[in-house]
């Protein structure tokens, strides 16, 4: 496999990145399809082609600025205890490249190439 070319950072929104993300990013439900708490996205950035991996939580608490993964898992278990069904869903996620490659012209503290794209996840 050819090594991905390092491109300059750009936060320009390009529709083709969202179109391409369908082929380069694979979503999977965590910890299971029957009781999802989050969606794990893995693959390569549709713009820079470097490896990315990110988790987006399905259980979100409005107003909670800092909540740990362990706390989210406890909240999800509580939802299960109350019979709240999360076995079906249709969500669209806005993702930003989070590759570990240094891209020229990246603002200080920014990771990735700056590409933003949407990925729709439907389950079961």
Q: What are phi and psi of 23, to 5 degrees?
A: -95, -20
Per-residue pLDDT band for 2 (boundaries 50, 70, 90) equals low
The pLDDT, as a whole number, for residue 62 is: 74
Number of Cα atoms under 13 Å in the Cβ half of residue 83? 0
Question: In the predicted model, what is the mean pLDDT of the chain?
Answer: 91
The pLDDT, as a whole number, for residue 16 is: 97
Contact 11, 103 (CB under 8 A): no
Average of pLDDT values for 14-32?
Answer: 96
Rounded CA-CA distance 6/104 in Å is 8
The pLDDT, as a whole number, for residue 120 is: 96
Spatial neighbors of 75 by CB under 8 A, at least 6 apart, are 59, 61
Higher-confidence position of 53 and 4? 53
Cα angle 116, 121, 124 (rounded to 5 degrees) comes to 170
> Quick check: 1 pLDDT over 60?
no
Q: Dihedral, CA atoms, 3, 9, 14, 19, nearest 10 degrees?
A: 30
The pLDDT, as a whole number, for residue 77 is: 86
Q: Tens digit of pLDDT for each residue in 37-94?
A: 999 999 999 999 999 999 999 887 777 678 888 888 888 889 889 988 888 899 999 9
Average of pLDDT values for 8-27?
Answer: 96
> Quick check: 35 pLDDT over 90?
no
Per residue, what are the HEC states of the chain?
A: CCCCCCCCCCCCCCHHHHHHHHHHEEEEEECCCCCCCEEEEEEECCCCCCEEEEEEECCCCCCCCCCCHHHHHHHHHHHHHCCCCCCCEEEEEEEECCCCCCCCCCCCCCCCCCCEEEEEEEEC
> Quick check: 114 pLDDT over 60?
yes
């Amino acid at each position: 496999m050819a090594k991905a070319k390092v491109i300059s950072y750009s936060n320009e929104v390009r529709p083709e990145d969202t179109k391409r993300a369908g082929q380069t990013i694979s979503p999977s439900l965590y910890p299971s399809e029957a009781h999802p708490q989050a969606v794990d996205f893995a693959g390569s950035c549709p713009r820079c082609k470097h490896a990315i991996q990110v988790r987006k939580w399905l259980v979100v608490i409005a107003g909670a600025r800092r909540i740990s993964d362990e706390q989210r898992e406890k909240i999800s278990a509580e939802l299960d205890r109350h019979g709240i069904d999360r076995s079906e869903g249709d969500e669209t996620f806005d993702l930003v490249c989070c590759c570990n490659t240094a891209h020229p012209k990246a603002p200080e503290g920014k990771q990735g190439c700056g590409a933003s794209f949407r990925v729709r996840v439907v389950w079961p």
